[in-house]
């Protein structure tokens, strides 16, 4: 797949005429170097600045640099060779960045693993990646034990949530183990404690590994919510170029002081990995690591006691914060911008966030396969746009029809992307790679979008999520946006269900905010904004919606329930 940026010409790319001042049309994909270069530069330039904060304890770039080199040294001593895969199964704890950058410094290929995976899911991913080293939080050691017979691991490293945090860390570990009882019993004979890794690795010198931008940095697994997960092969150049693109797009709007990023999305997810971890490292900023974003009260308590300049979240997390009364105790005066991505942002949520904070949500768009950011709104946005903004510098977006032909401006089609941030392909899956690559080197996203006259892209929905009612296309995002605007609705998700008369019907799953809400009144509300065939035929009230750990609604699970006539 194409990795290098093409020169862009204004007549073909209408978005360039609407770029903010001081934002270049293109970036040098190799300007950052490798991700190891990016990290070493931050340690050299900002040694005394805080790199992260975890459970109230801050670590500087110098301290993080020493820890990462200790991890790299230990891996080398264990026989890790350049290109070997290193799996990381952690939430957002202080050890994560140290392990991440340590593995990259040692020439390893990082395989990020969702710590909530079952033994079956873990086995598939590590077998597919060929990972022989696993760093795992002790809270999930029981999952590794269950999968141990099928895994071909040479070494397992057990991480505690308080590792690297000194005396504060011992308290964190005590609470995790004995108060919250978050560590289920398990046995992993021969596993190494992470504290021992730091001690052993720190006692021997690290030998730098020659790295090139074309070397593989990550196998970022994707598609697990829709089928068998496959690894997007992301080169150092892909992710470093995306960092440079984000920097070119955002730096003109940033103040001169250090940035403090609320990192509530998990670092194993590509959005937080690049937009929070790598981007903040590039700027010498501080990540405010949130280990459990589902603890909304705890998250708000953290926000209320720490100054921060930027947040990156998904729609469901913004919505959850807005519906907790304690959010009004948070001081948003230092916050320069709020970014949303990972799923469609709903108008009602964006409107409420602007009323609360005075800042519009700036929506971006991307995928694991694009490292991830491909499009973003301008940061000087005054009101939520409802679009995913403009293609980033050195990024081409083409809207294509079923046969790969470009569709007229304003017509819906598949969003296709070409640029230096696009993956090299799917790991060991050449057929899958060919299926998502056009003849002229664009990545086919599977998303339906429209190119507007000013070059903005308006996302319509996922192709596979579209509901076909008597030959008419219904896009769940549109219906969900209407449902979410009802004052009695907390959350809503829409799927299609088979129907013998119309082929499919629209089914809505709704979490109530008002217990007096009825299906009839909600349908009547929808009829005010939607044509008849888009109005949900069935409305199921549920206690909660099934979601990934990032907060994306699992429409597949809802579709299965809708097809069987059962509530999700």
Q: What is the pLDDT of residues 180-223, one digit of tens each?
A: 999 999 999 999 999 999 999 999 999 999 999 999 999 999 86
Contact in structure between 100 and 88 (CB atoms under 8 Å)? yes
Alpha carbons within 13 A on the beta-carbon side of 545: 27
In a domain, 17, yes or no: no
In a domain, 16, yes or no: no
| Residue at which a domain ends, from 159, 190, 211 | 211
In a domain, 193, yes or no: yes
pLDDT of amino acid 227: 53
| Residue at which a domain ends, from 211, 242, 268 | 211
CB under 8 Å to 311, separation ≥6 — which residues?
261, 262, 264, 335, 338, 339
Determine how β-strand 443-451 pairs with β-strand 413-418. antiparallel
The Cα–Cα gap between 325 and 328 comes to 6
pLDDT of amino acid 565: 67
Distances (CA, A) of 485 to 38, 261, 347, 511: 43, 29, 8, 13
E strands along 117-240, which residues?
133-137, 155-159, 192-193, 216-222, 230-235
| Residue at which a domain ends, from 194, 211, 228 | 211
Q: Can you read off the two tokens belonging to residue 163?
A: 């590792």
The Cα–Cα gap between 302 and 327 comes to 11
Residue 219: left (phi > 0), alpha (psi -120 to 50), or beta? beta
Contact in structure between 311 and 335 (CB atoms under 8 Å)? yes
Q: Provide the CATH number for the domain around residue 488.
A: 3.30.300.30
pLDDT of amino acid 501: 82
Q: Measuring CA to CA, which residue among 152, 137, 144 is closest to residue 119? A: 144
In a domain, 133, yes or no: yes
In a domain, 343, yes or no: no
In a domain, 395, yes or no: no
Domain tally, the chain? 2
Please return the burial class of 7, using the count of CB atoms within 10 Å of its CB with bins 0-12, 13-18 and 19+.
Answer: exposed
What is the chain's percent helix, strand, coil content, to nearest 5? Answer: 35, 25, 40
In a domain, 41, yes or no: yes
> Which structural domain range is residue 555 located in?
466-564
The Cα–Cα gap between 48 and 414 comes to 47
Extract the residue ranges of the chain whose pLDDT is less than 70: 1-11, 223-228, 565-568
Determine how β-strand 489-499 pairs with β-strand 503-512. antiparallel
φ, ψ for residue 31 (rounded to 5)? -65, -35
In a domain, 387, yes or no: no
Q: Provide the CATH number for the domain around residue 84.
A: 3.40.50.980
Count of residues for the chain? Answer: 568
């Amino acid at each position: 797949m194409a990795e290098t940026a093409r020169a862009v010409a204004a007549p073909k790319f209408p978005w360039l005429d609407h770029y903010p001042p001081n934002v270049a049309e293109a970036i040098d994909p190799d300007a950052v170097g490798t991700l190891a270069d990016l990290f070493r530069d931050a340690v050299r330039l900002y040694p005394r600045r805080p790199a992260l904060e975890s459970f109230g304890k801050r670590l500087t770039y110098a301290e993080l640099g020493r820890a990462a080199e200790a991890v790299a040294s230990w891996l080398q001593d264990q026989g890790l060779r350049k290109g070997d895969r290193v799996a990381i199964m952690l939430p957002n704890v202080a050890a994560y960045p140290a392990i991440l950058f340590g593995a990259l410094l040692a020439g390893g290929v990082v395989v990020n693993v969702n710590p909530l995976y079952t033994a079956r899911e873990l086995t598939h991913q590590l077998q597919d990646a060929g990972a022989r080293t696993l760093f795992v939080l002790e809270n999930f050691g029981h999952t590794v034990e269950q999968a141990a017979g099928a895994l071909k691991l040479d070494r397992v490293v057990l991480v505690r949530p308080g590792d690297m945090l000194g005396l504060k860390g011992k308290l964190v570990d005590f609470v995790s183990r004995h108060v919250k009882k978050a560590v289920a019993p398990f046995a992993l004979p021969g596993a190494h404690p992470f504290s021992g890794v730091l001690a052993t690795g720190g006692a021997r010198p690290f030998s730098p590994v020659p790295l090139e931008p074309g070397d593989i940095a990550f196998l970022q697994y994707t598609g697990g919510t829709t089928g068998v997960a496959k690894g997007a092969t992301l080169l150092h150049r892909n992710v470093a170029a995306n960092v440079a693109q984000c920097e070119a797009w955002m730096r003109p709007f940033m103040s001169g002081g250090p940035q403090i990023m609320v990192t509530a999305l998990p670092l194993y997810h590509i959005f937080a990995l690049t937009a929070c971890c790598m981007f903040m490292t590039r700027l010498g900023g501080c990540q405010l690591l949130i280990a459990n974003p589902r603890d909304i009260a705890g998250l708000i308590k953290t926000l209320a006691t720490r100054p921060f300049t930027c947040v990156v979240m998904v729609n469901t997390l913004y919505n959850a914060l807005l519906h907790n009364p304690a959010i009004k105790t948070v001081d948003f005066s230092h916050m320069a911008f709020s970014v949303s991505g990972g799923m469609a942002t709903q108008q009602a949520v964006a409107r409420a966030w602007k009323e609360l904070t005075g800042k519009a949500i700036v929506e971006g768009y991307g995928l694991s396969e694009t490292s991830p950011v491909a499009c973003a709104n301008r940061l000087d946005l005054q009101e939520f746009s409802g679009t995913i903004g403009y293609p980033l510098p050195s990024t081409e977006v083409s809207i294509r029809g079923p046969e790969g032909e470009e569709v007229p401006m304003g017509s819906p089609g598949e969003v296709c992307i070409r640029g230096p941030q696009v993956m090299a392909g799917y790991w060991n899956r050449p057929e899958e790679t060919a299926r998502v690559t056009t003849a002229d080197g664009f990545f086919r996203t599977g998303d339906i979008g429209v190119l507007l006259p000013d070059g903005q892209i308006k996302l319509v929905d996922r192709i596979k999520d579209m509901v076909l009612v008597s030959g008419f296309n219904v896009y769940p995002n549109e219906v969900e946006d209407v449902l979410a605007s009802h004052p009695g609705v907390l959350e809503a998700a829409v799927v299609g269900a088979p129907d013998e008369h119309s082929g499919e019907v629209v089914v809505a799953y709704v979490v109530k905010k008002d217990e007096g809400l009825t299906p009839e009144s909600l349908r009547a509300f929808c009829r005010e904004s939607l044509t008849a065939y888009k109005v949900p035929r069935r409305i199921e009230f549920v206690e909660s919606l099934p979601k990934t750990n990032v907060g994306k609604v699992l429409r597949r699970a809802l579709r299965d329930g809708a097809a069987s006539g059962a509530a999700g």
